[in-house]
Structure 1
């Protein structure tokens, strides 16, 4: 099952509050909104992808609990990007000082901030190109580092602010580089699950 895209313009345009309310009233759906106002209904992931995503979050969360450098978010979190899009990466991390700069109200709803770091995990039903476009959108909106993990092709695309995309074939691990100092994700376990 692939995502469903609904074009709402020009007849219907949701305000930020209306989109938030729509999401709150439809907890069973994972919704995103493009910068052009299109509504994207994301299908649930299967067991294998859910397990892979959980492993990534556990590793990222454990590292963050040790370092206390930031805040970790799951795929259920929707961020309001500077271009107006509402996006939900599979995993995200924000430096503590950036998170604390938001008001309590901003933290409660869809945070109006680009994460510092994002991960997208391609499931078997995800076409690659929309994920690549989403990753580029993150970078264009200020995300400093992003990983597109593709278990089907055993590749990882690394997106960095101000740099060309780097593609790794069958990497054993990924480094958080200077942004997530000391964070290493064991990618072999993710690839071996697929």
Structure 2
């Protein structure tokens, strides 16, 4: 899941098989035999769910492949065969899984898209380590989304990167052809949820007028 806050638990050296059989194992990654707990906040969870839903509906309609949630473990790193990573969202093109059957355990092939949603408490070193694993695994398209700054960075297999602001669009490029989504839409979904949850939202002022929430529009 997200690299929001990670704590390595150094009690023993674990294997991917240990992780698969562990109660609550979906909350951990596996790095150099150590468990790395993935702690993700409500805001990041909401954005993860919303973006996964957009991708799922689009890819299902176009019959493009598999959109996978943040609990999906990747075991596809050539220099670290026992490493397990969990992107917040990932996508595997149709035809890459043999017989179009999902594996029972971890995914042994690198996805075509990996998405990370970065929380305020994210550790820069941990994020860089995760992105290095993704690049070494040959993932052709990586989106790293920063809700606090309302921005994103796109990493591509050819080494190029793009910095996106909220009025820019996430694009599936050649990986998910035709998919486009403004970053603002993702962050607006978060704001809509926040507004709905505000105490007194929808209450009326004396005299019958609807009370204003006091929320400022994005500048």
Q: Indicate the TM-score class for this superposition, using the shorter chain for normalisation.
A: 0.7 to 0.9
Aligned alpha-carbon RMSD (Å): 2.2
8 Å contact 1:122–1:128 — kept in the other structure?
no
User: Of 116, 124, 130, which aligns to 2:126?
Assistant: 130
TM-score normalised by L of structure 1: 0.84
DSSP-derived class of the 1:78 partner: coil
String of CA shifts for 1:108-153, please: whole Å, max 9, x gaps: 1112111111111112332344223312311211111010011112
8 Å contact 2:47–2:187 — kept in the other structure?
no
Question: Paired residue for 2:75?
Answer: 80
Aligned residues, how many?
A: 184
String of CA shifts for 1:30-73, please: whole Å, max 9, x gaps: 01012x22210111x33222211111011000111111111110
Describe the shift of the 1:171–1:127 C-alpha distance in structure 2 as closer, same or farther (beyond 3 A). farther
User: Of 169, 174, 185, which aligns to 1:173?
Assistant: 169
Return the alpha-carbon distance in structure 1 between the equivalents of residues 154 and 132 of structure 2. Answer: 10
Return the alpha-carbon distance in structure 2 between the equivalents of residues 166 and 74 of structure 1. Answer: 24
Return the alpha-carbon distance in structure 1 between the equivalents of residues 17 and 186 of structure 2. Answer: 37
Describe the shift of the 1:162–1:190 C-alpha distance in structure 2 as closer, same or farther (beyond 3 A). same
8 Å contact 1:120–1:147 — kept in the other structure?
yes
Describe the shift of the 1:161–1:7 C-alpha distance in structure 2 as closer, same or farther (beyond 3 A). farther
Unaligned runs of 5+ in 2: 192-219
Return the alpha-carbon distance in structure 2 between the equivalents of residues 177 and 163 of structure 1. Answer: 15
Describe the shift of the 1:153–1:133 C-alpha distance in structure 2 as closer, same or farther (beyond 3 A). farther
Query: How far did residue 168 of structure 1 move?
Result: 2.4
Describe the shift of the 1:53–1:130 C-alpha distance in structure 2 as closer, same or farther (beyond 3 A). same
TM-score normalised by L of structure 2: 0.75
Question: Paired residue for 1:189?
Answer: 185
Question: Paired residue for 1:32?
Answer: 29
For residues 16-95 of structure 1, what are the structure 2 equivalents within 5 Å? 16-22=16-22, 25-26=23-24, 30-34=27-31, 36-43=32-39, 45-82=40-77, 83-84=80-81, 85-95=83-93
DSSP-derived class of the 1:79 partner: coil
Q: Which entry has the higher C-alpha Rg, 1 or 2?
A: 2
> Which aligned runs of 4 or more in structure 1 are off by greater than 4 angstroms?
none
8 Å contact 1:154–1:169 — kept in the other structure?
yes
RCO comparison, higher one (Cα < 8 Å, 6+):
2
8 Å contact 1:139–1:145 — kept in the other structure?
no
DSSP-derived class of the 1:61 partner: helix
Unaligned runs of 5+ in 1: none
